[in-house]
A and B are shown apart, each in its own frame.
Chain A
Amino acid sequence: MRAPIALEVSELRKEYRVRGAGRHVSLTAVDDVSFSIRPGETLALVGESGSGKSTIARCITRLVEPTAGSIEVDGKAITGLSARRLPAAYADLQMVFQDPTSSLDPRMTVAATLDEPLRLHTRLTKDERRARVAQLLADVELNDSFLERRPRQLSGGQRQRLSIARALAAEPKVILLDEPTASLDVSVRGQIIRLLKRLQREHGLAYLFISHDLGVVRQMSDRVMVMYLGGIVEQGPTEEVFENPIHPYTKALLSAAPVVEYGRRHERLRLAGEIPSPMRIPAGCRLVGRCPIAEEACALARPDLALVSDTHAVACPVSAPDTAPVLVVPKT
């Protein structure tokens, strides 16, 4: 029997209607994206501005309404839930955001911040909740001395620990981590990564990890999905994709990351120009116009993801010619 799926996203699509030059045009921010995450697994979503990774996060949390597609958390559909029934679904799906300073209520003490989700999502008594708050703090390596402090009395790293504890309170199946280390110093970044990994082991959590920091992605994730202009261009096991990137965009992205090594002016694969406006996505392959290996056919038809190994899929027929397109990418 297959292990259960913690988060299943199928053919997710998000279009925006925007006014352009006096008439309404459609902008496709996310274009039929599908993926799933198992308990205890981390899937990283990487891409630059305009790739659609944040829109996916907003759709999953229903901060924006997807245009099409379905999202299931632990087998239960999130899409289509009424606003009244949505909060209950959040018990299984929690979020940690990039900036803990703006995602924590400055007026609430640590104790109150952690008590709120317990009141919303559990039926614990007051004493039980107090015990649970203490345990949550211990889980994120803080202690009782923090209970009466407010966010401004905490360091950046401590604030992020508090955000993580708040996310854990409802005992979710899935945590969406949106750039959780981006605002932290390197010394603190490592601690938070180790903490997230330990919590995942102990609680069997599924993480959807959204980041532009490729070093952190490599440390954190089991699988990685590379996005460009709303579509997936490559996906596979993290080590395999980092060691053997195939899509020209993945190569450009990985080779652009600075490395802490002296005298290694590493080979960069450069793309021409800048990412086009999402209102002017090329009709064929999204990378046409910037890609160094594009052929005539690339501008005509949008390439599908095709398997290059059991688990590694690439949407580039030029880089990976002898592969058959797949409609469903197997779940590792």
Chain B
Amino acid sequence: MTTSDDITAQPPVLDVQDFGGGFENQPGHVDPVLHGVTFSVPKGSSTAIVGESGSGKSLTALSIMGLAPGRFRRTSGSIHYSGRNLTAMTEQELRTVRGREVSIVFQDARSSLNPVFTVGTQIADVCRTNRGVTRREAKRQTLEMLDLVRVPEARRRMDQYPHEFSGGMAQRAMLAMALISQPKLLILDEPTTGLDVTIQADVLDLIVDIKAETGMTTCLITHDLGVVAETCDRVVVMRGGEVKEIGSCEQIIDAPADPYTQQLVADSRMVENR
């Protein structure tokens, strides 16, 4: 593993140390999946976790949120958020962090939304749960948030159901839902995978703009180095449950040190649009 100098001296919002674990497929026996994963997400940075299928990038993200599948067992290490050890927290304690201080947006927005409630209701519910405001205030904030994520005609759209939303609009609604509790850290798990290229570009622009406005820290999980190059300043490369390389975006793209990263950049370039 190679490490470059951190591009920022900010204290980490998220600090993952020697995190390891696997799936307990048979009682008492854990098949290891993550091996000593170590990286940090400096405050205000946009850090990408990049890897192919099976690299462990999504499992790492889910572990941060305490949402890893039930069979997952941690075997080593810790995850600290703002100095607090998430891996030592009870479910109840985790709930004070999850959704309030750390939010996550998943890949397929339309399947993340509940089909039987209007989009506005679902966002307002998150607001009322996490911020304890009145129904009326929650509705006002929902409208404000839908405007922020550039959903056109937000007042009309908030009374619509998820099936009336296109994939890109649904992803904006999910962003609004994640942002309404004003999280300090936003995790984005393949947020634009499956969207058309022009819609993907719009959503990425939106994420970059909101980040610039709010100063929020983001952690983007993706397989697409093109998306990383356009949106992130730090990159963690994972493969086979291990961190292979950490560096600034510029260094990883222009001068990757690890042989796997070099191959990944070369393969991504081979089929890119130029």
Partner-contacting stretch, out of B73-81, B86-94, B137-145, B247-255 = B247-255
- Interchain CB contact under 8 A, A186 and B198: no
Q: Find chain B residues with CB under 8 A from A260 CB.
A: 225-226, 229, 253, 265, 268-269, 272
Q: Which of A190, A258, A264 contacts B204 (CB 8 A)?
A: A258
Distance A170 CA – B166 CA, assembled complex (angstroms): 40
Least Cβ–Cβ distance between A309 and chain B, in angstroms: 21
A49 contacts chain B at the CB level, 8 A cutoff: yes
Q: Mark A78-100, 1 if CB is under 8 A from B, else 0.
A: 00000000000000000000000
Distance A156 CA – B166 CA, assembled complex (angstroms): 29
Least Cβ–Cβ distance between A242 and chain B, in angstroms: 7
B199, B223, B224, B274, most chain A CB atoms within 10 A: B274
Q: Find chain A residues with CB under 8 A from B230 CB.
A: 258-259, 265
Q: Find chain B residues with CB under 8 A from A263 CB.
A: 250
Distance A256 CA – B196 CA, assembled complex (angstroms): 10
Q: Which of B166, B169, B226 contacts A257 (CB 8 A)?
A: B226
Q: Mark A257-288, 1 if CB is under 8 A from B, else 0.
A: 11111111100101101100000000000000
A116 contacts chain B at the CB level, 8 A cutoff: no
Q: Mark A293-321, 1 if CB is under 8 A from B, else 0.
A: 00000000000000000000000000000
Chain B interface size band reads 35 or more
A68 contacts chain B at the CB level, 8 A cutoff: no
- Interchain CB contact under 8 A, B273 and A259: yes
A189-B271, A274-B168 given; A258·B201 CB < 8 A: yes
- Interchain CB contact under 8 A, B254 and A190: no
B200 contacts chain A at the CB level, 8 A cutoff: yes
Q: Find chain A residues with CB under 8 A from B254 CB.
A: 262
A186, A218, A256, A270, most chain B CB atoms within 10 A: A186
Chain B positions near chain A (C-beta within 8 angstroms) = 52-53, 152, 166-169, 196-202, 204-205, 223-227, 229-230, 249-250, 253-254, 263-265, 267-274
11 contacts between A and B (CB under 8 A): A48-B199, A186-B267, A213-B271, A254-B273, A256-B200, A258-B200, A258-B224, A260-B268, A262-B229, A262-B254, A271-B198
